[in-house]
Amino acid sequence: MRVLELGGNWSGPLVGLFLRSLGAEVIRIESPNHLDTMRLLPAPRVAGRKIDGVGQEDNPYFAQLNAGKRSVTADLSTSEGRMVVLELLDDVDVLVENMAPGALERLGLGYRVLSDRNPAVCVLSLPALHPGDALGDLRGYAPVFTGMGGLEILATPVEGSRAVGMLETGWGDPNGGTVGLLGLLAALVRRARTGVGVHVICSQVKAVTWQLDRAFFRHTSPVGLRPEHGGSDGDWQVVLPVDDGGWLAVGGDPAKALTVVAGLGLTSRDLLAEWSKSRSSAEVARAFRAGGLHTAPVITAEDAARAERARVRGVAEEIDHPLLGPVARFHVPWLLDGVAPRCDGRPPALGEGAEELLRAPRDAAPERRCEHD
């Protein structure tokens, strides 16, 4: 399978990474005049020192999203650049784009043009909102998606603490990419049956709202110790500070939670936080587990990558970069018939391989290698 990837940042390239992990050949279409935000990140340093020979594609963030992909440069504002896309489209199964709303249409590369050229192509578009929405021309990144989607209200921090909501983690981007991938895979199943491609449009704002379930329809109780997801059948969940500067996640049946909290003589979320942050994580966990609730420490991404379960499963590994030394590499958390897909390889330099791709027929393309092939 061959995939064209237009756009950048996180959500679109994440879909490409997933497809690459499944064995697809993924070709990034990159403008030399409008570089991907991830390529514009500062070149990485080791111990604060610049490393000779390190390029922008060596940044671990860009490298993680674009491992094993290929790159073709094309200025889509020119007829020559648009022709590059159309020529590649003849041998393409999927096109993924997370450009500004309506950008492809304005460039003369809308879905009707693409499907006329290749009726079997499946196109995934990842706008902020669907076409026809009152704010359908809205542009945005992850904080816009989680803010407008309603998720931020569920991630209220303890009073006086630094925000711990989704605004800081950029959750809207990988969420939109993952939900879009589900629609795209369904489109590919349909194409296998009919031979006809599909245009999948996934609103990244609505992909956030879709997850909210009851909380979207019911107002959260103003009492901080009530169920966070509204109604008596919701789960009670909270993240509490503990005395070592860390955090402990607690969740479970709301009736059991209120029994535990009442037994501690606490009447509000703030009092509960004051109580927990003067105690160890083990002590707080014992109090809630004794009442039948579930607890887990909130660990850092670095700790998660180094955890034994991640190493055994192969979802995270430390690789030896020739210039940077040891760096983390993450793989998709799937098992397909017991096999863990993984996608190795370095990220492409800007425009690397363009001449070969544009001149060679598809059957002569380099072998597309993933470990589960």
pLDDT score for 165: 58
Summarize pLDDT for 28-45 with one digit per residue, the tens.
999 988 888 888 887 777
Which two three-digit tokens encode residue 290?
A: 């004794």
Which residues contact residue 82 at a Cβ distance below 8 angstroms, ignoring those fewer than 6 apart? 74, 76, 107, 108, 109
Indicate the average pLDDT of the chain.
84
- Which of left, alpha, beta for 7 (phi over 0: left; psi -120 to 50: alpha)? left
Angle between helix 11-21 and helix 172-194 axes, rounded to 10 deg: 50
How many other C-beta atoms can be found within 10 angstroms of the C-beta atom of residue 322? 9
Report which secondary-structure segment, H or E, holds 179. Answer: helix 172-194
pTM of the model: 0.81
Residues with Cβ within 8 Å of 301's Cβ and at least 6 positions away in sequence, in order, are none
User: Is the pLDDT higher at 301 or at 110?
Assistant: 110
- Report CA 231 to chain centroid distance, whole Å: 30
Question: Residue 221: which H helix or E strand, with range?
Answer: none
Most confident of 126-135, 153-162, 312-321: 126-135
Nearest to 60, CA basis, from 352, 365, 319: 319
How high is the pLDDT of residue 156?
53
pLDDT digits (tens, 9 = 90+) for 281-334: 999 999 999 999 999 999 887 788 888 888 888 888 888 877 778 888 889 989
Output DSSP code: residue 336.
B
Query: pLDDT digit string (tens) for 5-15?
Result: 999 999 999 99
- Kindly report the number of other CB atoms within 10 A of residue 318's CB atom: 13
